């Protein structure tokens, strides 16, 4: 080792740093809490099933929280932080205000987990597990959730406004938004299948149902019944993203797109004569292909910039920093 030059040592050190920094997602593992919190999974599952039995829509709401968390500086629980007099969180960002919901359910799950293993499991990981359990409870596929994320001590309203694709997005904007966080076009189309469950507000589909022609006329007429043309009137009136089965997770979303029955502008963009048409057709006729691609994309999304090791913290209360 005496002949090992200082420049070589620098190269090795740099290589190690690149490997270490670039592999933060590799530090996540599916058995992260197997010793420290063995009752974690049944505890979360029970709380999620209880919440969904009270209100089926909440499963979609939890899934959406995970998207909106991961897309803004990674899956770090930053979305869960409340605003204070000295701290501006992400809850009042455009994509979340009057819209993101289910925070009380996350609080309940966190409390249940704290009862069985206090101070061990992050809010970011609880949200990741609750998302999987929500999908499964509503009839969708299961997957092994990678864990070991820690909770952010910061949040960014500006990044939330910038990073989460709005429902007015065209196909290129959607592809760019997902690409910016390391997700492929295929991932984007598969993850959009989340819109097989949940509800949208009138303000987010008003322009589509009154102005766009690539929309089934009977659906437009139905939706106009509870979404007045005039902005400011009925803005928060809800409609199911998938009219047939709004609380069942399957591939009807893609069947709807093929029939020009996507509720949001951004939904129908996936099947509108563009590069993703063929994949939408595939998912519409092959539920198993959709399920496997959705699972792969969810795992990939869960790997976005996690805080690990000594970064961040394990919050005691998901709404505020320790």
Residue 196 is assigned to a ligand binding site: yes
Provide CB contacts within 8 A for 109, sequence distance 6+. Answer: 43, 44, 47, 48, 126, 130
DSSP letter, residue 144:
P
74 known member of a binding site: yes
Segments in 242-276 forming alpha helices (H): 252-258, 265-268
What are the angstrom distances between the C-alpha of 72 and each of 59, 160, 192? Answer: 21, 6, 17
Q: Is 165 annotated as a binding residue?
A: yes
Q: 57, 64, 68, 319: which one is catalytic?
A: 68
* Annotated binding residue 102: no
Q: Is 195 annotated as a binding residue?
A: yes
Residue 18 marked ligand-binding: no
3-class DSSP state of 42: helix
Question: For residues 209 and 223, what is the distance between their CA atoms, to the nearest angstrom?
Answer: 7
**Residue 293 marked as a ligand binder:** no
Cα(321)–Cα(150) distance, integer angstroms = 12
Residue 69 assigned as binding residue? yes
Structure tokens belonging to residue 128: 């990741």
Q: Annotation-wise, does 111 bind a ligand? A: no
Residue 265: active-site member: no
- Strands of the chain (E only): list them: 199-201, 238-240
Question: Tokens at residue 130, please?
Answer: 């609750």
Query: Do 270 and 276 contact (CB within 8 A), yes or no?
Result: yes
Q: Binding site for Ca(2+): what residues are annotated?
A: 69, 72, 74, 76, 78, 90, 196, 242, 245
Q: Binding site for heme b: what residues are annotated?
A: 195
Q: Binding site: what residues are annotated?
A: 69, 72, 74, 76, 78, 90, 165, 195-196, 242, 245
Catalytic sites, residue numbers: 68
Q: Binding site for substrate: what residues are annotated?
A: 165
């Amino acid at each position: 080792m005496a002949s090992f030059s200082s420049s070589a040592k620098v190269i090795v050190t740099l290589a190690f740093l690149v490997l270490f920094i670039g592999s933060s997602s590799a530090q996540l593992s599916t058995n992260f809490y197997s010793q420290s919190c063995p009752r974690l999974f049944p505890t979360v599952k029970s709380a999620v099933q209880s919440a969904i039995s009270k209100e089926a829509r909440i499963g979609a709401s939890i899934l959406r929280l995970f998207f909106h968390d991961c897309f803004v500086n990674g899956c770090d629980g930053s979305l869960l932080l409340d605003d204070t007099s000295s701290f501006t969180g992400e809850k009042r960002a455009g994509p979340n205000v009057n819209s993101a919901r289910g925070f009380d359910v996350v609080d309940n799950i966190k409390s249940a987990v704290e009862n069985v293993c206090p101070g061990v499991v992050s809010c970011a990981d609880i949200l990741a597990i609750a998302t999987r359990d929500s999908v499964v409870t509503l009839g969708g596929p299961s997957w092994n959730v990678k864990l070991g994320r820690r909770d952010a001590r910061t949040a960014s309203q500006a990044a939330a406004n910038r990073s989460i694709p709005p429902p007015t997005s065209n196909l290129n904007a959607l592809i760019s938004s997902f690409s910016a966080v390391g997700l492929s076009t295929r991932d984007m189309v598969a993850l959009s299948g989340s819109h097989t469950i949940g509800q949208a507000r009138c303000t987010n589909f008003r322009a589509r149902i009154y102005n766009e022609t690539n929309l089934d006329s009977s659906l437009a007429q139905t939706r106009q019944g509870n979404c007045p043309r005039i902005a400011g009137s009925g803005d928060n009136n809800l409609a199911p993203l998938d009219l047939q089965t709004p609380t069942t997770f399957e591939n009807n979303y893609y069947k709807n797109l093929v029939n020009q029955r996507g509720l949001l502008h951004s939904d129908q963009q996936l099947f509108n004569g563009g590069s993703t048409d063929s994949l939408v057709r595939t998912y519409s006729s092959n539920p198993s292909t959709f399920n496997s691609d959705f699972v792969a994309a969810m795992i990939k999304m869960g790997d976005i910039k996690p805080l690990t090791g000594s970064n961040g913290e394990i919050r005691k209360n998901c709404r505020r920093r320790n």
